[in-house]
Structure 1
Amino acid sequence: MSLKTLNKPEEINPEAKLVIPQKASSINSFLKPEDITASSVITRPQKRQAKPKWLRVKLPTGKKYTALRGLVDKYKLNTICTSGSCPNMGECWGEGTATFMILGNICTRSCGFCGVKTGRPETVDWEEPEKVAKSIKIMGIKHAVLTSVDRDDLKDMGSIIWSETVSAVRRMNPGITLETLIPDFQGLGKHIDRIIDVAPEVVSHNMETVRRLTREVRIQAKYERSLSVLKYLKDNGQRRTKTGLMLGLGETRDEVIETLQDLKDANVDVLTIGQYLQPSKRHLPVKQFITPDQFKEYETIGLDLGFRHVESSALVRSSYKAQKHIH
């Protein structure tokens, strides 16, 4: 289906139950009264914990970083590097790589960990697929990562422009390899199929946290739904699947291991594990800083379970050194 076959009235999903306040002082503003329980109300600490030395990162500098920053600004591209306050932005951009975020930079969901803006998204930019493809060509990128905000306000959840973007990137950049870091599309197979049909080398969907903390951390997502998305991808022909976890939100070692087993049961190939860092005082607090030895232990456990690749250290994020994961 071409993008132009969608008329404006069809862009809005009439079944989307989305209520977004004009001004929200905290994640709790997005809860319905009947949803508020002792476990769902998030409290914020007055002070953040001091970061340990292994979380120190260099400020982004260098000619490659500056050049890439100029291209992103010139073409008005949305990158998760900037919107998500990624600690690896300086390193990745310094190497001339970036992760592109399509469908705008305002998300319809209000996850307590995420630095991306929440609110009422702008109108879809139907020229975005060509813009992203052109920018990748100008940058000379050989392996690109595409991701997006959640678009529960759209009838197709954004899956059509996802498909069009992958196709445009391939058309303009022969030989490129791609990873698509997708939302859950509310678990609907017809939307996930559009991603499978354009055959990215890797499809990733992040679990983010353990079962017990999912409602608090990802208030509009479901643990079992994310597992089902990952399993659906593999069961329907996707060659390489991937997911990511954040640690430091109050999970236990046993809960992490249980989650790794659940993911392996869903036939996930690649796993990334990193430290949660609080984007602002309004977001979920860091409950603990995971030590390098603990991250190494989880890497060993993951490899023993049979994951093809496990990236596990404090500054790992789902798109970090993603080109390794196509092999």
Structure 2
Amino acid sequence: MNIVRKPEWLQKKINPAAHAEMEGLLGELRLHTVCQEARCPNISECFRQRQATFLILGALCTRRCSFCNVTKRSPVPPDTGEPARVAAAVARLALSHVVITSPTRDDLADGGAAHYAATVAAIRGAAPATTIELLIPDFQGSRTALATVVASGPAIVGHNLETVPRLYQIRSGADYHRSLAVLETLRELAPSLRTKSGVMLGLGETEEELFAVLDDLRRVDCSYLSLGQYLAPSRAHHPVIEYLPPETFDRYREQALAMGFAHVESGPYVRSSYHAARYGE
């Protein structure tokens, strides 16, 4: 297999010294973050700024996506004390905006929707001024589960399409049209809700395929978009096929805005929750 070397614009360094305060708080409250579990390259930048994306419902996923570093094993039952601990962290960090996500929990009847709602309620009680963004799995397309999430009153709900339909084999257990329907159902349930999706680039997609996906997102009135470079967590994961230069991401951002997205973050290091507070500005 040919290994595509990282270019000069992808040389961000991890600085463990910047992690001490955040890791101390997370350890004290027994919380997980996707920043740590997914080996996000932005972790030092975000932790230094006292920002984190909280990973609820444990750190074990029931699906085996070949691009993701979250551990794949049978998970444990939801921790009923977790919502209060997340809320305590949000209050102590004085976050103006928080992103909550989870692994996929196909073992749960509602996919974890009630736990999301409990977490939103706990944050509302502890930090009422904080705007709340949820980045949810597909809940196997359950309208009831999605209604539970919407009824909790988050400001933004995201669900990532991740890639183009032709490459969906990397998303074990997922279905492109079901994921698109999740975003459509969210808007049906709450027409004023701001929805968000993200796509990883460099997996072998063509530009034509990418813009077909963006057309689909606009068709279901998706508000916000993130476009970022896929970075393989290890050689055991799906390989990077191409590194897109920053100017390509800039061009994609302008084209996506022209298509009607209200806000677009597009760049090599962009991730779903990276600079998340900017979307509502």
Contact 2:65/2:171, CA 8 A, preserved across alignment: yes
1:212 counterpart = 2:148: no
Is the radius of gyration larger for structure 1 or structure 2?
A: 1
Number of the residue aligned with 1:243: 197
Contact 1:145/1:179, CA 8 A, preserved across alignment: yes
1:113 counterpart = 2:67: yes
Deviations 1:276-321 (A, max 9, x none): 0001111100011111121112111101101001111100000001
> Aligned AA for 1:51?
K
Uncovered stretches (5+) of structure 1, i.e. residues with no partner? 1-44
Q: CA deviation at 1:49?
A: 2.6
1:322 counterpart = 2:261: no
Poorly superposed stretches of 4+, deviation over 4 Å = none
Number of the residue aligned with 2:8: 53
CA distance in 2 between partners of 1:70 and 1:217 (Å): 34
1:140 counterpart = 2:125: no
Contact 1:144/1:178, CA 8 A, preserved across alignment: yes
Q: CA deviation at 1:48?
A: 3.9
1:197 counterpart = 2:130: no
Number of the residue aligned with 2:254: 300
Number of the residue aligned with 2:213: 259
Count residues in correspondence.
280
Deviations 1:157-193 (A, max 9, x none): 1111111011001111121111100000001100000
CA distance in 1 between partners of 2:71 and 2:259 (Å): 36
Contact 2:187/2:221, CA 8 A, preserved across alignment: yes
Q: CA deviation at 1:275?
A: 0.4
Contact 1:202/1:325, CA 8 A, preserved across alignment: no
Q: Report sequence identity in percent.
A: 42
CA distance in 1 between partners of 2:25 and 2:276 (Å): 21
Q: CA deviation at 1:62?
A: 5.3
Please point out which of 5, 8, 32 is paired with 1:78. 32
Contact 1:61/1:94, CA 8 A, preserved across alignment: no
Number of the residue aligned with 1:31: none
Q: CA deviation at 1:136?
A: 1.3
Cα RMSD (Å)? 1.2
1:222 counterpart = 2:175: yes
CA distance in 1 between partners of 2:4 and 2:115 (Å): 40
Contact 1:68/1:139, CA 8 A, preserved across alignment: no
CA distance in 2 between partners of 1:58 and 1:243 (Å): 27
CA distance in 2 between partners of 1:261 and 1:142 (Å): 32
SS at match of 2:225: strand
Contact 2:38/2:70, CA 8 A, preserved across alignment: yes
TM-score for the superposition, normalised by structure 2? 0.97
